[in-house]
Each structure stands twice: as C-alpha cells, then as structure tokens.
Amino acid sequence: MRAVVQRVVQARVTVEPDYVAEIGAGLLLLVGVERGDGPGDVAYVADKSVALRVFGDDAGRMNRSLLEVGGEALVVSQFTLHGDVRRGRRPSFTQAEDPALAERRYEELVAAIRSHGVTAREGRFGARMTVDCSNDGPVTILLDSRRLF
C-alpha cells in the first residue's frame, strides 16, 4: 500500500456536482492499494500516518503527530500511485489491486485511522474526484508498506 501524505490547512473532495468531504488542519492521504496488500499493509499505513511527527511544536520544529495536535484526516483512493512508467510513456497499472479488493482495503484503512481516535473523512472510492487542498509547509511524505522507499 502506498500513500502520499500531505500536511494541510484544509482539504476538500468533490465528485461533480456533489461535495463529498472536507477537513480543516490535518493530513490528506492519497492512497493506492497494491496487489497482495493485506491487514499488515493497512496497519502500517494507518499507524505511520497518525504518528508521523510533521506538525510544529512550541519551538516550530516538526515534532508533533496528528494524534497530538487533534487534526483530521481526509483519505482519498488513488490507484494511479501504482502506475509504472519505467518503460514507455503510458503508465501500466498491473500492480494496482483489483477494484473490489482494493475498496475493501481502503475501507479497512479508514477504519484503522478512526480506531486511533482520529476524525477521518473519505473520498468516494472509484469515482473521478476533484481534490482541493492548501498544503501547509508544504510537507509531503511518501509511505510504502513494503518499505520500497
């Protein structure tokens, strides 16, 4: 499972013409489920995301987590995180999980984040979404449950 985690002042998801979800200060997680991802991958991304020390302390140093600052999370599915462009120019998505299984893992991830006491909102799985955010910093962290980076 891969995630692009961005510290945001606010973030919002719409599926035209409907508003879907919005958060204030917290983390925007763009999440791609890879073939073979299981409960361990879900736990890794959930635990790492809520505990990332990317929020400022009293001295302004990145030393606090989402849990410590009481921030929110907006979780958006994004299978294109597994797009492979090492050969050619058109991405190959063969490593992205089958949509039915990916949706299950995505829902498990949202539930795992909530189990930490974090308010987690979500996009609409499989929909063409518009994601608006105000990056804070900007701070962007890449997570991979298989620890490829």
Active site residues: 78-80
DSSP, res 98: P
Compute the distance between CA of residue 105 and CA of residue 38 in angstroms, rounded to an integer: 7
Compute the distance between CA of residue 77 and CA of residue 40 in angstroms, rounded to an integer: 18
For helices 99-115 and 39-51, angle between their N-to-C axes, nearest 10 degrees: 40
